[in-house]
Amino acid sequence: MAQYEPVARIGGGASGTVFKARDRRSGRVVALKSVRVARARDGLPLSAVREVALLRRLQHFRHPNVVRLMDVCATSRSERETKVTLVFEHVEQDLKTFLDRAPAHGLPPDTVRELLRQCLRGLDFLHSHCIVHRDLKPENILVTSGGRLKLADFGLARVYSGHAALTPGVVTLWYRAPEVLLQSTYATPVDVWSVGCIFAEMSRRKPLFCGNSEADQLGKIFDLLGLPLEDEWPRDVALPRGAFAPRPPQPAQGFVPDMEPLGTQLLLEMLTFDPYKRISAFNALQHLYLQERGGEQG
């Protein structure tokens, strides 16, 4: 760790603290993410070792839409805990900051389209390597000054989820898929739902579903998208469909008024309640909405 000189704290979340730092050897600016991991009897838990090894292996592909992991350092804090520091390339702003700085009239439609395209490219790459992000939100997506979008914090939720409970009030519900809110089984479709929420937010300039509990979040989803059919409700959950009042879906033009029709069509395919019917990142990239202008950018 002596190689990296911390410059400023730039963020913190459920799974750790992020610092801007300088690499003393190369002089380049990097981002340090430190997390505490409970130790097994013979060192780090095997799951953590496997996950970090997978993240390191992914770096050989140098995907342009996934933030680059440059180094991993581990320091023993006590007999029960090890501090693992991940060294990433540094990007000046996250998507939330980028959207906050957007003009009052919002982002141009082609900019929204291009950011969504890049987001789905990064996501398809992660999913093709069996990584489920689980916590995609504007704060976990970076945007360079040149407009390059990069997914960050990928893969870490699974490894460090045990520590998340120690940091209350950090993890937002607003981008969580229904199957996660219902505590049902889930897989890669949860990330597509999150990106759908982010897509809508880029268009409307404010979050789509702002619940304050799991049940409230589901209620807000059903207020817009309608209560799912009985046969779509997962069987392995404690919360019954009957806990929610029946309601029809609202016209998408009402909640994303500035989105063009093809974009609205793709959005609804991403925000499909049944994860088995939800479009995949790979198929979303083939959608007509993303085949229009700017298809060769990014």
Q: Assign 208 to helix, strand or coil.
A: coil
Binned at pLDDT 50, 70 and 90, residue 29 comes out as very high
- Out of 96-110, 112-126, 144-158, pick the least confident: 144-158
Query: CB-based contacts of 118: which residues, under 8 Å, 6+ apart?
Result: 64, 65, 148, 149, 298
Residue-wise pLDDT for 249-264, tens only, equals 999 999 999 999 999 9
Active-site residue, selected from the candidate residues 71, 100, 110, 135: 135
Does the structure show a pLDDT above 90 at 85?
no
Complete domains list, the chain, with CATH: 4-89 (3.30.200.20), 93-291 (1.10.510.10)
Q: Measured between alpha carbons, how far apart are the two ends of the chain, in Å?
A: 34
Does the structure show a pLDDT above 80 at 286?
yes
Residue-wise pLDDT for 213-251, tens only, equals 999 999 999 999 999 999 999 998 999 999 999 999 999
Q: Where are the beta strands (DSSP E) in 39-80?
A: 69-76
CA distances, 200 to each of 12, 173, 187, 218, 222 (Å): 25, 16, 22, 17, 16
Q: Where are the beta strands (DSSP E) in the chain?
A: 4-13, 16-23, 29-38, 69-76, 81-89, 93-94, 141-143, 149-151
Annotated active-site residue 135? The verdict is yes
Is the pTM higher than 0.85? The answer reads: yes
Give the whole-angstrom CA distance, residue 107 versus residue 123: 22
Provide the CA 34 distance to its chain's centre, in angstroms. Answer: 19
